[in-house]
């Protein structure tokens, strides 16, 4: 039998691609060397349109029903007083959620299977088959039974993560590559009753914390990669010392109980890969990886699943030649990813924001106008265009009000 598509990797990129292709009526084989469900030591806060896509696909309600809270509030601190955005929604959907990957990936896989995809988990792909320079299938092994399988597909899609074996096999060209900037350590605590996303940016450090599945609270610390080895010397002490830069958060975390070990990585490359060639395509981290600073990976993977499926469907159905359709996928992926790729890199280099940014934050803190704060937060979270907040009339109004307020305060 020849599948329409074989997808290697059944997590947020692969399972979503399988789900959308199966819904279009294609015969899909989805394989992963991991068990479904299982965890993967990556972060998992989804925002920037991700929850909206999950809602549109009909899976967000299941994520919520799994016990993972949807998040509408965000605290952002830059060393001083924090700003808190409240009740943030996009298209009527809460702006974020942070399900553990065992939960998110399983819901996506189950939905793909319900749509007709075939799943083989604990199945490792060891080799890609090719004929006349075209990828035609996979050779792999069932890790439970040891049986070897050969399967053929009209297209093989690598959703197999940043160290993609498919990308290595086809020598997918890498471009706009940038050095690794940061490392991350993270873990999970019970007994931390915080129901919002917290982002604490300090000198040479960011703390990212949010509620997740099973009543746990995830805390992530990132620092420049040059410090990785020093930090690893005493992870717990260094982590808690870093956390102390956000004293209120640190106190709540200390009052809770750490339920898991610390996970850490400095394998955080920044690159684009050409995501297609004869008989193959790449989606998710396999095709484009970036530092987790702005937590873009999952939302991008969900978006790119839609884009690659549109192209692959057109190619399989004969609407457009496959190479032309996939060239369109690459172009759209790059156009939509590029601005944030470079903004993310600048932030991951801990480049200080321009002074105007601090001034407007100070004015917002002074005015305490929740509508203005929410608008500022929505822009920062990429939920509204920059112009929605940063236009001269709006900024002028906020600054003027803050100055008037200061004068009044002095007179009183």
Ligand X SMILES: Cc1cc2nc3c(=O)[nH]c(=O)nc-3n(C[C@H](O)[C@H](O)[C@H](O)COP(=O)(O)OP(=O)(O)OC[C@H]3O[C@@H](n4cnc5c(N)ncnc54)[C@H](O)[C@@H]3O)c2cc1C
Binding site for ligand X (CB under 6 A): 8-9, 11-14, 31-34, 40, 42-46, 124-125, 159-161, 165, 184, 265, 284-286, 292, 295-299, 301
Q: How many helices (H) and strands (E) does the chain have?
A: 13, 23
Question: In sequence order, what E strands does 79-181 have?
Answer: 83-85, 89-90, 93-94, 96-97, 118-121, 123-131, 134-142, 148-158, 174-178
Nearer to ligand X, 295 or 316 (CB): 295
Q: Which is nearer to ligand X, 160 or 198 (CB)?
A: 160
Instruction: Tell the smallest beta-carbon distance from residue 385 to ligand X (Å).
Output: 21
Distance of closest approach, residue 283 Cβ to ligand X, in angstroms = 7
3-state class (DSSP) for residue 281: strand
CA 78 vs CA 73, 339, 358: distances in Å: 17, 23, 9
Give 210 or 376: the residue with its C-beta nearer to ligand X.
210
Closer CB to ligand X, 49 or 315, in the complex: 49
Question: Cα separation of 55 and 8, whole Å?
Answer: 25
Distances (CA, A) of 320 to 200, 274, 312, 316, 323: 47, 19, 9, 9, 8
Nearer to ligand X by C-beta: 50 or 360?
50
Residue among 267, 28, 52, 42 nearest 154 (CA): 28
The nearer residue to ligand X, 330 or 372, going by C-beta atoms, is 330
Question: Please, what is the minimum distance in Å from the beta carbon of residue 396 to ligand X?
Answer: 35
- Least distance in angstroms from the C-beta of 364 to ligand X: 25
- Least Å distance, CB 400 to ligand X, is 37
CB 44 → ligand X: shortest distance, Å? 5
Nearer to ligand X, 46 or 207 (CB): 46
Whether 278 and 134 have beta carbons less than 8 Å apart is answered as yes
Q: How many CA atoms lie within 13 A of 171 on its CB side?
A: 1
CA dihedral 64→68→69→73, nearest 10 degrees, is: -120
- 334 vs 367, beta carbon nearer ligand X: 334
**Dist. CA 252–CA 271, nearest whole Å:** 37
Q: Are 158 and 282 in contact (CB under 8 A)?
A: yes
Residue 138 phi/psi, 5-degree rounding, is -130, 155
CB of 195 to ligand X, least distance (A): 17
Shortest distance in whole angstroms from residue 388 CB to ligand X: 23
């Amino acid at each position: 039998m020849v599948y329409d598509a074989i997808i290697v990797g059944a997590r947020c990129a692969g399972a979503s691609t399988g789900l959308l292709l199966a819904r279009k009526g294609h015969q899909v084989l989805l394989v992963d060397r991991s068990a479904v469900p299982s965890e993967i030591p990556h972060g998992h806060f989804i925002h920037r349109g991700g929850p909206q896509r999950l809602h549109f696909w009909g899976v967000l309600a299941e994520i919520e029903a799994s016990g993972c809270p949807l998040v509408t509030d965000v605290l952002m601190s830059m060393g001083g007083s924090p700003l808190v955005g409240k009740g943030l929604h996009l298209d009527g959907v809460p702006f974020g959620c942070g399900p553990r990957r065992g939960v998110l990936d399983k819901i996506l896989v189950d939905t793909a299977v319900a749509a007709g995809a075939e799943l083989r988990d604990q199945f490792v792909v060891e080799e890609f088959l090719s004929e006349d320079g075209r990828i035609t299938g996979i050779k792999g092994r069932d890790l439970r039974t040891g049986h070897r399988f050969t399967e053929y597909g009209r297209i093989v899609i690598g959703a197999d993560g940043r160290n993609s074996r498919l990308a290595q096999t086809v020598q997918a060209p890498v471009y706009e590559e940038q050095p690794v900037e940061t490392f991350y350590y993270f873990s999970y605590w019970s007994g931390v009753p915080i129901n919002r996303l917290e982002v604490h940016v300090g000198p040479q450090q960011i703390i990212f914390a949010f509620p997740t599945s099973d009543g746990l609270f995830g805390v992530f610390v990132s620092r420049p990669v040059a410090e990785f080895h020093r930090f690893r010397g005493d992870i717990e002490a260094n982590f808690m010392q870093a956390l102390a830069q956000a004293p209120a958060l640190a106190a709540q975390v200390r009052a809770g109980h750490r339920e898991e070990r610390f996970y850490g990585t400095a394998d955080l490359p920044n690159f684009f890969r050409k995501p297609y060639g004869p008989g193959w395509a790449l989606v998710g981290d396999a095709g484009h990886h970036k530092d987790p600073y702005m937590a873009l990976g999952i939302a991008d993977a969900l978006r790119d699943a839609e884009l690659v499926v549109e192209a692959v469907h057109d190619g399989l159905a004969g609407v457009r030649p496959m190479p032309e359709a996939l060239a369109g996928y690459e172009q759209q992926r790059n156009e939509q990813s590029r601005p944030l790729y470079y903004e993310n890199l600048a932030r991951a280099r801990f480049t200080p924001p321009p002074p105007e940014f601090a001034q407007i934050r100070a004015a917002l803190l002074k005015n305490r106008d929740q509508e203005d704060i929410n608008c500022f937060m929505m822009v920062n979270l990429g939920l509204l265009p920059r112009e929605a907040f940063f236009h001269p009339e709006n900024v002028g109004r906020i600054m003027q009000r803050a100055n008037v307020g200061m004068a009044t305060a002095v007179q009183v």
